[in-house]
Structure formats: structure tokens, C-alpha cells
Amino acid sequence: MRRLNIILSLLVVLIFSQAHASNNFQVKGYDSHVELTWDHDNSVDIYRIYASTGSGEDFLLRGETNEDHYLDFVTDLGRNITLTYKLIPVVNNEEKKALESKTVSVRDFTDEELLDMVQQYTFRYFWDFGEPNTGLSHERTHSKQGNIVTIGGSGFGVMAIIVGAERGWISREQAVDKLLHATDFLQNTDRFHGMWAHWYNAETGTVREFGKMDNGGDIIESAFMMQGLLTAKQYFNEDNNKEAQLRDRITHLWHEMDWKWYTNGGNHLIWHWSPDYGFEKNHGIRGYNECLIAYILGVCSPTNPIPVEAYHESWAGWDNPNFANYTEYFGMVLPLGNKRWYGGPLFFAHYSYLGLDPRGLSDKYANYWVQNRRHTLINRAYCIDNPYGYPGYGEDFWGLTAGDRVPEGYSAHAPGYIRDQGTITPTAALSSMPYTPDESMKVLKNLYRNYGKELWGPYGFYDGINLSVSDVPEEQVRKTYIGIDQGPIIIMIENYRSGLLWENFMKNEDILNGLNRLGFKRHGKEISTN
């Protein structure tokens, strides 16, 4: 009997070892971290990650997890080093035989390699974490609201899919299939005079109320979606059935958006309409903020446009203290934006300009490249000046915009009293890469190399970091992701690198004709529609 038990024990060990030998253990080295992945075995309680420098001896425990991946920031071991990893399954507090050891190197990345890394990790939010039922994008990770999709963030996700196809992270056909899935949902779900709601329940596809009297059409979220879809219509231009179907769907959705309805018979756009409350919420849209793209799309509509006067008399009202600025901050005159908060949060320079190309773009109110570059530089200069003495603020640690507050809550962070609470949001500087490439790259390197152990996760940079809340690094980071913060990172870095989204959106003749009607110019000349 004793011999039989020994044989059975040996068979169990052999079977277990063979099962774990095929667990597809992979390691990949980057600039400051190593990514480890494997196929998870449900019989395993946890996995322990060990690493050794040099000869592959003297393994150190680097961490443990019950998931199928692990990120190991190795700057505590040195830079430009070679490491050997072993992954050990643990069952009932007993370490089993290690999976096959893997050797990997980390080395200093070039700026281009760092941008590749940030974009590709951020892309995972929209691809790996994409919502499977609708084909759209989740509002955020760790949502207290349940499984919901967001229309604006999904519009950013459409543009992220374009980048993924262009960079070769997915095939062109995969991208088209994903967007056909998304547009199938978009054309069949509840719309309100052609506009989508802010949120939808992922499982049922029904509208999810965003707030009081906000259970119907949201023209700003819808504008962000259509900005992405019109860019996709131009990009996916091949002569095949799937791409032709995608273009036809987008055209149909675009033509059905009734911008005129959302003026309620007046001369300005109203943000919301509800089937239960009508226009009772009565949130008129006036500049300057993230909503410029809505007025532009409204005027550009080939089927239900708003009058040009609505742009000049409502959005761009000179009597509006949030529109005209022309105040000097840190030696720079800012044309537009709230004076008290130095132009406002930096997402004003991002959301409307994911597709709308600000290079050389101007109207009688501002040069929009100058506006966005100065807005970014003023935000940076304010953080360097650091009037409230928050730790860390400086040339490589800046960027105030809307995002999750550390340690809790959400805020539209901006320079100035109340709005500046010590939280730096990585999307602020990273999404400003086209305007301030050198300055933004310094932030990228600092956040990744010096704070990445806590700030970098499976989808790239987490949403916020605040060094003033604690001396404990784990408590300084809000480990969440939000679609509307992730999207601009990948999109605006791509616009900096190749102009991809800008160039495709600006090929649309409806957009170009509308910009001409509004009096916009490119580099001082009338915009060509050829």
C-alpha cells in the first residue's frame, strides 16, 4: 500500500508538471519593466514570480498574483540589464515545479519606442477591454454604475481602432469587423432625433440614465462619436463589400442626426433632449470648451444643419466670460477660454481636435493651433510655478485636466483655486504631444520610469497621481482607467507622429464645406474642398 501511494504521488506530480510545462509562459522586456504572461490553470491558487540577474542564480521573489499576467518594474535592479524569470505555481501553500525559465533584456528605449509602447498598451483598453455585446467601449474600469458603454468614449475608441489597424496591431479586416459590430448596435439602439444617449446598458442595449433629466439624446457625446465615424469612413476606403457596408452605415447615421431639432427653434444648440422631459434640462452650449466639434458638425450637416449664425451668436459670444480671454499668463496671451482657470482643463485642447486638424486653422476669433499650444504651455507653466506647493510639480510632472481625483472622486482639474487639488492626470500632457512634443515627452519619461511601478498597468498609465495625499507610493495613484482619458492618448500621439486621424477627418467634403461657410481658413487661405 505504501508503495502504491508513492507511485500515485509521483504520477500526480508528473501530471501536474506536464500540465504546467505547456502553460505558454512568455516574457517581454521594455524600457523599465518586463511583462510576463501565461495560461492560467484553475487548479493553481497563486503564481509566484522570481527573477535573477546575471548568471541565473540567486532568484529573488518579485511578486505574486492569481491572474495570468504580471508587470515587473525592474529599475530597482538597474537599467539595461538581462534577467531570468521563473514562474512557480502554488497550490495549498506549496510551491510546485517552476515553469520553464525565460531570459529577457530591458534597455533604454528611444523616444519612438516609448511612444509605440504607450500607444500599444493604451490600445488594449479599446481592444482587449472592449465591450463584446455592443462592440463599443466601456465607460471605465471598476465602474460602480455597472456594465455600461459610453458613446463619447466609444467614438474615441473608433479612432483608436483606426490607429491599431494602421500600426498593424490588428488586421484591417479585424478593425472593419469590429466597427461593423459597433455600427450595427448604433443603428439599431434607441436614438433621439438621430442622436445617441450618453450611456447604454451593455447587456440589454437600452439607455442608461446619466443624470437627472438626462435619459435621451446627448449631442456632445453624439458629436464625439460622429467625429470618429466620419474619420473611419474616410480611412476604410477600399473597394470591398465590408468596407463599403461600413461607409454606407456611417453615411446613413450621419444623415439622420437632426442638429436643427436640438436648437429647439432658437439660434443655439441645446445639449440634451429627453423623451420624458423634452428640453426641460435646457443646457445651452456656449464656448469655449470641449464642445466646438458639435457646432462644426451641426453647421456641416448635409441634411439637418443649424444656421451659421448659431456659431457666431451663441458659441462664440463675445459677451460670454468663458469664451474670449486674451489675457496674459506667464508671458503668453491666451485667445480663448475661462479667465479664472487659465483657459480651463486641458481636455478642451483635445476632444474637438481628435479629428479636426488645428494646424493652421483659424477663424475671426482665434488661431486654433496657437490657442491649443498656448493653453498647454500655460497649464505647464502654472504647474512649474506651483502656487500651492504640491510635491512633484515641475517640468516633468504637469498636466491638469478632467479625471479621477486622488484619492477619490472625479474633478475637472485646472489651474487655479479649487480646481487644482494636486492630482496630475497623465492624459493631459500625453494628449498634448502634438502641441508640446518635447515638454510632453519629459512627462512621459518621468511618469513611466520613476512612478511606473504604481502608475503603469495593463492598459498603460492609470488615470491619476497625487504625491501630496500620502508618502506611500501605492496610495498616491488612482488605479482606474476611463475611456475618455485613454482615447486621446493614443489618438493625439498618433496625430503627432503621422497626422493620421487629422488627415482622414479633414478629407470629408461635408466638413470642409461647412468650415468654409463658418469662415475658417487654413494658413490664412480659404479651405480647399478638392
Dihedral class, residue 362 (left if φ above 0, else alpha if ψ from -120 to 50, else beta): beta
Q: Which three cell numbers stand for residue 363?
A: 477663424
Q: What is the DSSP letter of 206?
A: -
Residue 433, classed as helix, strand or coil, is coil
What sign does the CA torsion over 449, 67, 123, 424 have? negative
Closest CA to 398 of 333, 475, 467: 467
pLDDT at 189: 97
pLDDT at 9: 44
What integer pLDDT is reported at residue 54 of this predicted model? 74
Q: Looking at residue 57, what is its pLDDT? A: 76
pTM, full prediction? 0.94
Are 290 and 347 in contact by the 8 Å Cβ rule? The answer is yes
The 3-state DSSP class for residue 58 equals: coil
| pLDDT on residue 6 | 43
Q: What pLDDT digit, counting tens, does each position of 427-462 carry?
A: 999 999 999 999 999 999 999 999 999 999 999 999
User: What's the pLDDT score for residue 528?
Assistant: 84
Which run of H or E residues covers position 318? none
Domains of the chain (ranges, CATH numbers): 22-108 (2.60.40.10), 113-526 (1.50.10.140)
Q: What is the pLDDT of residue 55?
A: 67
CA distance 138 to 51: 35
CB within 8 Å of 169: residues ≥ 6 apart: 120, 123, 127
Look at residue 19 in the predicted model and tell me its pLDDT.
Answer: 44
Measured CA to CA, the distance from residue 186 to residue 135 in angstroms comes to: 9
CA dist list (Å): 507 to 66, 98, 235, 483, 524: 48, 55, 9, 26, 19
Please report, in tens digits, the pLDDT of each residue of the chain (530 residues total).
545 444 434 444 444 444 444 489 999 999 999 999 999 999 999 999 999 997 667 899 999 999 999 999 999 999 999 999 999 999 999 999 998 899 999 999 999 999 999 999 999 999 999 999 999 999 999 888 889 999 999 999 999 999 999 999 999 999 999 999 999 999 999 999 999 999 999 999 999 999 989 999 999 999 999 999 999 999 999 999 999 999 999 999 999 999 999 999 999 999 999 999 999 999 999 999 999 999 999 999 999 999 999 999 999 977 888 999 999 999 999 999 999 999 999 999 999 999 999 999 999 999 999 999 999 999 999 999 999 999 999 999 999 999 999 999 999 999 999 999 999 999 999 999 999 999 999 999 999 999 999 999 999 999 999 999 999 999 999 999 999 999 999 999 999 999 999 999 999 999 999 999 999 999 999 998 86
Partners of 482 in the β-ladder: 140
The pLDDT value given to residue 59:
93
Pairing of strands 460-461, 464-465: unpaired
What is the predicted pLDDT for the residue at 13? 44
- Number of residues in the chain: 530
Cell readout for 441 is 515627452
Cell of residue 446, nine digits: 518621468
Cα distance between residue 260 and residue 279, in whole Å: 13
Q: How far apart are CA 408 and CA 353, in angstroms?
A: 29
Distance of alpha carbon 65 from alpha carbon 47, whole angstroms:
5
CA distances from 173 to 158, 184, 316 (A): 14, 16, 42
